[in-house]
Amino acid sequence: MDNPPIFYLNSDIKTAEMKRASSSFKRITKNVEYTNIIFVTVSDQNSNNILIYSDGAGNNEYIESIYKDYKSLVYSDKNILDDDWKLIEIICNELVNKCTRINIGKKISNSESDEFSDFIARCRVKGSLVICLYTSDIHSDEIWEYGVKDLYFRRVIKKWIDNFAWDKALNNSSKIETSANITLNNELKVLNFAFYLGGRGMPQRLFGFSRTDRKKGLIGYGWM
C-alpha cells in the first residue's frame, strides 16, 4: 500500500448537515486505500499540547504503540465534544469508529512541530489517511461558489512555496516556516499543517469550489 494522501477539508456544521457532506467525503476517498483516519484539528486554547484522543475501542493499536516515542504527544480517552468533533461525526458517519483525532495547541514549538511531523509520517507508512480539518463559520455562497476563497488559498500556498525555496537556498536547509512559528489564524494554521505534511508543494487535487461541487458541503485540497 502506498502512503495515503494528506487532505485539507473545510466546512461549517450547517452546510455539512444540509448538503450531504458524508456522501461527498466518500467520493473524495473512494479510490484511497487506508487502514484508519487521523483528523488533525487546531485548538482554540493557547497551549503547547498535542493531544491524541481515542474512544478506547482498540481500533488505533499502531498509534497507541508509537505515541510514547514523542514527548510532546499526550494520549487521552476524553475527547473534546466541540464543533470540530461534530463535523467529524457528520462527514465520517459510520466510519467514525476508524478515526483518531489529534488536537494541536496554538503555541507548539518548532521541535514539537517536527516531532508531530515525524509521528504522522510513521502513521502514514502504516496506512493512516491524514485529514487536516477546519470547521468554519457559515459559508457565504458567493465567496465559496465563485472561487474567491480558492484564489485566496492558492495565493497563500504559493507564498509558502516561495518562502520555502528562498529559505532553502539562503540557509542550505530543508526547514520551512510552519504554523508553529508564524502567526496565522486557525483556518490558515490548519491549511499550513496540510501543506507542510503534504510535502510543501501545490496540492494535486481540489474539490468543492465550483457551484456544482459546493452543493456537496465540503471544500478542500489533496496532496497525493
Tens of pLDDT, residue by residue over 88-98, are: 988 887 777 77
Q: Domain range for residue 53?
A: 6-223
Main-chain phi, psi angles of 175, to 5 degrees: -70, 155
Q: Which amino acid is at 188?
A: L
Does the residue 59 lie in any domain?
yes
- Per-residue pLDDT band at 13 (split at 50, 70, 90): confident
Give me the number of domains the chain comprises.
Answer: 1
Is the per-residue pLDDT at 220 higher than 60? yes
Residues contacting residue 58 through CB under 8 Å, at least 6 positions apart:
none
**What's the CATH code of the domain at 65?**
3.40.830
The terminus-to-terminus CA distance of the chain in angstroms comes to 13
d(CA 38, CA 132): 8
Residue 111: Cβ-neighbour burial (10 angstroms; 0-12, 13-18, 19+)? exposed
Range with top average pLDDT, 79-88, 166-175, 189-198: 189-198
Does the residue 211 lie in any domain?
yes
d(CA 222, CA 47): 28
